[in-house]
Structure 1
Amino acid sequence: MISLKAVNHFHIHPMFWFLIGVGVLTGSLIQLLIIFSIVLFHELGHYGMARYFNWRIRSVMIWPFGGVLETDEYHTRPIKEEVLVILAGPFQHIWIWLFILFAESTELLSTGVIELLTLYNLLIFCFNILPIWPLDGGKLVFLFLSVYLPFVKAQATFLTLSIVSLFVAFGAALMFFPFSMSTILLACFLMWENRIEWKQKRYAFLRYLMKRQQESQEHVKKIRAIHVGEDMPIMDIFRQFKRGTHHQICVTLHNQKRALIDEGECLYYFFTLKQTRAKAKEMVEWFAT
């Protein structure tokens, strides 16, 4: 049984209501209702898996050809857990395809509806695995990059790839498919989302660091040494942090002596003591006293 709290998590983006209005005026309401049903079922996959892992969920926003699971759990949970939550959405399209086969064999639905279900199920699946933020394919690419690259570098690399992929996909859509107002609106919406994410990438990085300080890192098994000079600013040290890794900062002083600082101490010095412009040497001296 679906709880009232679960229902309250789901919201529909204003753009979808706009397209519903267009559908009523143009006679394409059935197509839009089919799209809405597929998108909702897709997002229920993400939502159900996130609830299974006891994620804190703010909301689920439904918009044309996709949705967004709003949560603060990304970047703090085990990587396998995040992968399962991301893949749970695309996996729903398999169940939809099996339902289509059942409905076709039993003549439960008309041929026209079956054809629309088949087409939109495939289109929405393919659309959501594109390497574009905030689609599922984009989240998987970013997750992969953040394992092998420092978070900041993975962030910049991915957003650049996302914007390039968006232009390529939009150009291909205009080249191979008829002009569509829905395609234009969708491309503008995704570009806006990428623009916002690019402008807020510094704040996203700070949230990532704050989560590293607040949340338990028991699931982290890798330990990595970061070698820095005594004059390196604390933010430059943080820019070398990777997902799924606990860091030990090895500071080389001018007298050639070395000091070891744990990443937890660095985060404490930055967030709790509010020494946001500190350098490595200052941390060494503070923790030595």
Structure 2
Amino acid sequence: MYGINWSVHPLFVLVMLASIATGYFVELITLFAIVLVHEIGHVLAAKGFGWTVHEVKLLPFGGVAEVEEGANLPAREDAIVAIAGPLQNVWMGALAWAFGETGLWNQEWSLYVMHANIMIGLFNLLPILPLDGGKLLQAALSRMMPHRQTLVWMGRISLVLSCMMIIFAVIPAFHEPGGGIQANLLAVGLFLLLTNWTAYRHIPFLFIRFLTHRADVSSRSMALGGWALPIVVSKRHSIASALRLFRRDSYHLIVVMEEPGNIVAVLPEQQLVNGYLAEGKADRAVLELFM
């Protein structure tokens, strides 16, 4: 579909098997359809911006898309694509309510479909990666702080909230008479915790990927024209410390200054990135790039 490889995540397979075993097959098909339409909303929005989407893995609460351009896509586009999924749940929930009010569906089934859309839509708006709410928060943070700092903070926020979800899932087993663990919520919480722990450990690699695609940002900035955001460093600043100041949507000029305030050189960001990627010596001083 749309030239994209669609697959079902093992977590969704477990939910399917549990639903079949407990006799909720129709509800399972309905859930699958809601999740599929939710994810198609993301894909259509992404395709509208010309993104290259390679694969979509469907999960019980939505899906995870593999996008070629990654973190160098404009934050505005990322936010629009993220919100496009929950918006599908809005019209599907409203349609289910309308069908119930007009008698096309019985009230019980109408309420079930409406509540399923509300739950999936709201759950996806939680500020945890890779949920839509996490992507929205990440897009907002990227407008206020450097990209590497955004990765670190989003990793921390996602890990804390994932742990809170796990705690919330097991609390009924200890505080409610006859209460049990909320297995579905626990499984999703563990999945999000593992996903974000892996991503947090891989922040250095994610940052390098961000740098390798900076040429796209440069080309986009030159094609559209606009302001460059200067980064002021001393000539003894390391390349790594300067690169960590790069912002997602900005094109940078690196202003190298001596201690009294005299400008030694103005470097385009590509020179800094290429100097780092070509030799990988992040601790070199910026001064070495023009010696």
SS at match of 2:46: helix
Higher alpha-carbon deviation: 125-134 or 263-272: 263-272
Higher alpha-carbon deviation: 246-255 or 90-99: 246-255
Structure 2 vs 1, CA of residues 103 and 255 (structure 1 numbering), >3 Å: closer, same or farther? Answer: closer
Counterpart for residue 226 of structure 1? 231
SS at match of 1:148: coil
Query: 1:98 offset after TM fit, Å?
Result: 2.5
Q: What is the TM-score normalised by the length of structure 1?
A: 0.89
Counterpart for residue 185 of structure 2? 183
SS at match of 2:70: coil
Contact 1:133 1:162 in 2 (8 A): yes
Counterpart for residue 49 of structure 1? 45
2:195 aligned to 193, 196, 205, which one? Answer: 193
Q: 2:182 is matched by which residue type in structure 1? A: S
Q: 1:226 is matched by which residue type in structure 2? A: I
1:82 aligned to 78, 82, 103, which one? Answer: 78
Q: 2:193 is matched by which residue type in structure 1? A: M
Counterpart for residue 19 of structure 1? 15
Query: 1:237 offset after TM fit, Å?
Result: 0.7
Query: 1:75 offset after TM fit, Å?
Result: 2.5
Alignment partners' CA distance in 2, 1:274 and 1:174:
46
Counterpart for residue 206 of structure 1? 208
SS at match of 1:278: coil
Alignment partners' CA distance in 2, 1:251 and 1:75:
27
SS at match of 1:192: helix
Contact 1:57 1:70 in 2 (8 A): yes
Counterpart for residue 268 of structure 1? 274
Counterpart for residue 59 of structure 2? 63
Alignment partners' CA distance in 2, 1:116 and 1:281:
64
Q: 2:284 is matched by which residue type in structure 1? A: A
CA offsets 1:142-188 (integer angstroms, 9 cap, x no match): 11111110111111111111112223344345557963211111111
Query: 1:110 offset after TM fit, Å?
Result: 3.1
RMSD: 2.2
Higher alpha-carbon deviation: 244-253 or 233-242: 244-253
Contact 2:101 2:107 in 1 (8 A): no
Contact 2:165 2:185 in 1 (8 A): no
SS at match of 2:56: strand
SS at match of 2:228: strand
Higher alpha-carbon deviation: 245-254 or 12-21: 245-254
SS at match of 1:237: helix
Alignment partners' CA distance in 2, 1:91 and 1:61:
19
Structure 2 vs 1, CA of residues 220 and 120 (structure 1 numbering), >3 Å: closer, same or farther? Answer: farther
Counterpart for residue 217 of structure 1? 220
Contact 1:266 1:283 in 2 (8 A): yes
1:129 aligns with 2:125: yes
SS at match of 2:289: helix
Alignment partners' CA distance in 2, 1:221 and 1:79:
17
Structure 2 vs 1, CA of residues 181 and 255 (structure 1 numbering), >3 Å: closer, same or farther? Answer: closer
Unpaired runs of at least 5, structure 2: 173-178
What is the number of residues matched between the two proteins? Answer: 281
Alignment partners' CA distance in 1, 2:35 and 2:91:
13
Q: What is the TM-score normalised by the length of structure 2?
A: 0.88
The sequence identity of aligned pairs, in percent, is 27
Alignment partners' CA distance in 1, 2:135 and 2:70:
10
